[in-house]
Amino acid sequence: MKPPGKKQTNRSRIYQLVYQAGSISRPEIALRLGISLPTAIQNVKCLQADGLLEEGDLLESTGGRKATAVHLSRNARFAVGVDITRNHLSVVLINLAADIVGSRRVKQRYEDNAAYYRQIVGLINEMIASAGIAPNKILGAGFSVPAILSENGRLLVYSRVLNVPVLHCSTISRGLAYESVMCNDANAAGIAELWRRKDLDNAVYLSLSNSVGGAILLHNELYSGENQRGGEFGHSTLVRDGRPCYCGRLGCMDAYCSAEVLSRHTGGCLPRFFEKLSSGDPAIAAVWDEYSGWLAVALNNIIASFDCKVILGGYLGEYLESRLDDIKRRVATLATFSGTEDYVTPCVYKKEASAVGAALLYVRSFLQSR
């Protein structure tokens, strides 16, 4: 999601405008927000005094006094994002501009016990300490999980991947000195992608990892449905009575489009699959041909439903950009409307999208509250 455009106080509007503009002069702020120049100057002064804005470069002038631009103080605050998957833990530290200032990924199988959660808290504290950031500059920690959550993100209510019946956010964060919240992994990744894509207000994020998920983002807001199950494209039915899905049903998209459908042909190693595909291995080429055919069917269905860009993400995201023309060609052969294939777009974050998105929850609420 993009920085918020919610109308609040002049101070808040100015802060959000500077965030969106990157660098802007005081007269331009006054003009764009329809406020007087003294009001703009006074509010910028307060935001500078709070360490949230910084003086920028001297701008070119067409006459009169030269104006300087102000820009965001990127490192005024930081947020932590943790991606919890079945076999790995990723921790990122981002600043207000969503720059990753620290990241660590460890191989660690998920276990619902105190030692596992202590490890998460330890990794977070270690990262903040090694970056030399004062604890009062940390806004909070977002936990990305492959699960259906309660609306407020405090309670996990369903996760076949983690195989845990119920989980409270406070259980993960016990001993952590910062606020925390959970977010569905695909939703978090979608939030991170849309934050970076200033050209998009609406998008579907398709997470093609070892399970398939997704996020629906409309007017820069996440649409998660009546029961937080929106965007679960992995369990849409692609083939009646088709292949078995891990959810227990038959023919789910997950059984045809997960990253595992490819990596199982190269001993679970996804990079190896694409190496062999590039080298022209005929057996691997046949697997890809079948896979991309099913992916095109799924993409055509999603585009026909939402009429907006579909971002290809998840583990497969980093490999699909170079295969985009092939995928688009396949979508074009299925589509009713011309140009449908151009809705398919690669992801910006090739790694750690979910962890960044979980951290962005805190950046977003900070920007809205200034």
Separation CA 188–CA 184 (nearest Å): 6
**Position 182 contacts Zn ion (CB under 5 A):** no
In this structure, how many other beta carbons lie within 10 angstroms of the beta carbon of residue 232? 21
> Which of 92, 161 has the CB closer to Zn ion?
161
Q: Count residues contacting Zn ion (CB under 5 A)?
A: 5
Query: Binding Zn ion by CB under 5 A: which of 252, 310, 356, 367?
Result: 252
Strand partners, 142: 81, 181
Per-residue contact string for residues 288-327; x = within reach of Zn ion by CB under 5 A: ----------------------------------------
What are 355's two structure tokens?
A: 């962890």
Measured from the CB of residue 269, what is the shortest distance to Zn ion in angstroms?
24
Stretch that binds Zn ion, among 166-174, 247-255, 262-270, 312-320 (CB under 5 A): 247-255
Helices vs. strands in the chain: H and E counts, helices first? 13, 16
> Which of 91, 261 has the CB closer to Zn ion?
261
Place of tokens 């069917």: 297
- At 38, give phi and psi (nearest 5°): -60, -35
Cβ–Cβ under 8 Å, residues 127 and 80: yes
> Which of 140, 314 has the CB closer to Zn ion?
314
Query: Binding Zn ion by CB under 5 A: which of 247, 250, 308, 348?
Result: 247
Measured from the CB of residue 215, what is the shortest distance to Zn ion in angstroms?
18
> Which of 213, 357 has the CB closer to Zn ion?
213
Output b/e per residue, 15-34; b: 16+ Cβ within 10 A.
Answer: bbbbbbbeebbbebbbeebe
- At 6, give phi and psi (nearest 5°): -65, 135
> Which of 89, 252 has the CB closer to Zn ion?
252
> Which of 153, 234 has the CB closer to Zn ion?
234
Measured from the CB of residue 261, what is the shortest distance to Zn ion in angstroms?
13
> Which of 249, 329 has the CB closer to Zn ion?
249
How far is C-alpha 42 from the geometric centre of its chain's CA atoms? 35
Measured from the CB of residue 25, what is the shortest distance to Zn ion in angstroms?
54
Output the CA–CA distances (angstroms, integers) from residue 138 to 100, 247, 359, in the order listed.
14, 38, 10
Measured from the CB of residue 251, what is the shortest distance to Zn ion in angstroms?
8
Contacts 24+ apart (CB under 8 A), 337-342: 340/300, 340/303, 340/304
Footprint (CB under 5 A) of Zn ion, residues 102-131: none
With CA atoms as reference, report the closest residue to 124 among 100, 98, 96, 93.
93
> Which of 207, 266 has the CB closer to Zn ion?
207
Measured from the CB of residue 264, what is the shortest distance to Zn ion in angstroms?
17
What are 179's two structure tokens?
A: 């606020």
Cβ–Cβ under 8 Å, residues 72 and 330: no
With CA atoms as reference, report the closest residue to 16 among 106, 96, 126.
96
Stretch that binds Zn ion, among 134-142, 246-254, 299-307, 337-345 (CB under 5 A): 246-254
Over its C-alpha atoms, the chain yields an Rg (Å, rounded) of 22
> Which of 142, 234 has the CB closer to Zn ion?
234
Measured from the CB of residue 256, what is the shortest distance to Zn ion in angstroms?
11
Strands 221-223, 78-84: parallel, antiparallel or unpaired by DSSP?
A: unpaired
Measured from the CB of residue 59, what is the shortest distance to Zn ion in angstroms?
56
> Which of 238, 361 has the CB closer to Zn ion?
238
Cβ–Cβ under 8 Å, residues 158 and 182: no
Per-residue contact string for residues 206-245; x = within reach of Zn ion by CB under 5 A: -----------------------------x---------x
Find the length of the chain. Answer: 370
Interface residue list for Zn ion (CB under 5 A): 235, 245, 247, 249, 252
